[in-house]
Amino acid sequence: MRKMTAKLISGNEIAQQIREELKQEVTRLKETHKVVPGLVTLLVGENPASVSYVTAKQKTSKDLGFYSIQDNQPESITEDQLLKLIDQYNQDPKIHGILVQLPLPKHINETRVLNAIDPQKDVDGFHPINVGKLMIGEANYLPCTPAGIQQLLIRSGVKMDGAEVVVVGRSNIVGKPIANILLQKQKGANATVTICHTGTRDMAFHTRRADILIVAAGKPKAITADMVKEGAVVIDVGVNRIGMTPEGKAKLCGDVDFDGVKEKASMITPVPGGVGPMTITMLMLNTVKAAKWAAGI
């Protein structure tokens, strides 16, 4: 069998391209329409991973020239207090996007909180109204990670029209929405999509048919080289900690056995530096969309 080494799809590079485009768009909105995109990130408690994510989101929004609020609340906040706070931001004309960082403390119902966000300000794309609009091909906002995956494919020149796409994982955050996005009869989609999950009998039978394999299984190196078709495009959404480096940094790996699969795939995303950087970038894109929508642009 011919050996090949896959071309790397760099999420860092593609995210940077989109951020440059957004920066220009924000400047144009300010100069032409006196509109400044506004984003609030709500953080409850001090979960270290959540603090890190929110800090990165805030830094990016400021770099792009947004009006940006970081609202930190103690873990002891009640559900009613949090709902009132969300309502205040729903009413605030300077805020176009509201992001509640998950997970929330156990005494707060995440579904109630996410459903309280005005769908026009739901820049995460998780509100049932926005999920429903995605299903029928009329989405206002695409969920950030799946939208990032689609952009990686489009900007890498991957042909999706008629392609066999296999998605491993059926979460509401990645698996189901990316399947729906690529299924739409639209540009950058129109694929034939199969979803595999823990109940799938013969996973490899499906994954070996994929022209494009998207893996969000939540399990380190779940997809090995023998499960991948020669020349497939592989998008690895997984981020798993598998120990520490001698310098004390977390060692990360994806849901795909990168070293083995890169010898068979035509293109592959690395972990880290693949899908990850795209998620925050698409959140920024959704916030700019929300600002334009609110201003009737």
What's the CATH number where 55 sits? 3.40.50.10860
121, 155, 181 - which closes a domain: 121
87 and 158: one domain? no
Residue 57 annotated in active site: yes
Flag whether 220 is in a domain: yes
Closest CA to 159 of 192, 136, 135: 192
Contact call for residues 204 and 158 (beta carbons, < 8 A)? no
Out of 57, 176, 262, 289, pick the active-site residue: 57
Exposed e or buried b per residue across 204-242, where buried means at least 16 C-beta atoms within 10 angstroms of its C-beta:
eebbbebbbbbbbbbebbbbeeebbbeebbbbbbbbbee
The domain of 197 spans: 143-274
85 and 166: one domain? no
pLDDT of residue 5: 87
Flag whether 296 is in a domain: no
Tally of domains within the chain? 2
Flag whether 282 is in a domain: no
Closest CA to 143 of 118, 113, 174: 174
- Identify the residue whose tokens are 């795209």: 278
121, 152, 168 - which closes a domain: 121
Residue 106 annotated in active site: no
Flag whether 5 is in a domain: no
> What is the spatial distance between Cα 95 and Cα 232, in angstroms, rounded to a whole number?
42
Which amino acid, 198?
T
Flag whether 286 is in a domain: no
Flag whether 24 is in a domain: no
178 and 210: one domain? yes
Q: What is the mean pLDDT of residues 42-67?
A: 92
Structure tokens at 70: 């970081």
- Tens of pLDDT along 236-293? 999 888 888 788 787 889 999 999 999 999 999 999 999 999 999 999 999 999 999 9
Residue 152: pLDDT band by 50, 70, 90 thresholds? Answer: very high
- Tens of pLDDT along 70-129? 999 999 999 999 999 999 999 999 999 999 999 999 999 999 999 999 999 999 999 999
Residue 3: pLDDT band by 50, 70, 90 thresholds? Answer: low
> What is the spatial distance between Cα 272 and Cα 59, in angstroms, rounded to a whole number?
19
93 and 148: one domain? no
pLDDT of residue 1: 45
Residue 261 belongs to domain with CATH number: 3.40.50.720
Flag whether 60 is in a domain: yes
Out of 58, 101, 120, 151, pick the active-site residue: 101
- Three-state secondary structure call for residue 41: strand
pLDDT of residue 249: 81
Flag whether 157 is in a domain: yes
Residue 226 annotated in active site: no
Q: What share of the chain is helix, strand, coil (3-state, %, to 5)?
A: 40, 15, 40
165 and 48: one domain? no
157 and 97: one domain? no
Mean of the per-residue pLDDT values of the chain: 95
174 and 267: one domain? yes
Contact call for residues 104 and 113 (beta carbons, < 8 A)? yes
- Tens of pLDDT along 162-180? 999 999 999 999 999 999 9
Out of 124, 211, 236, 257, pick the active-site residue: 124
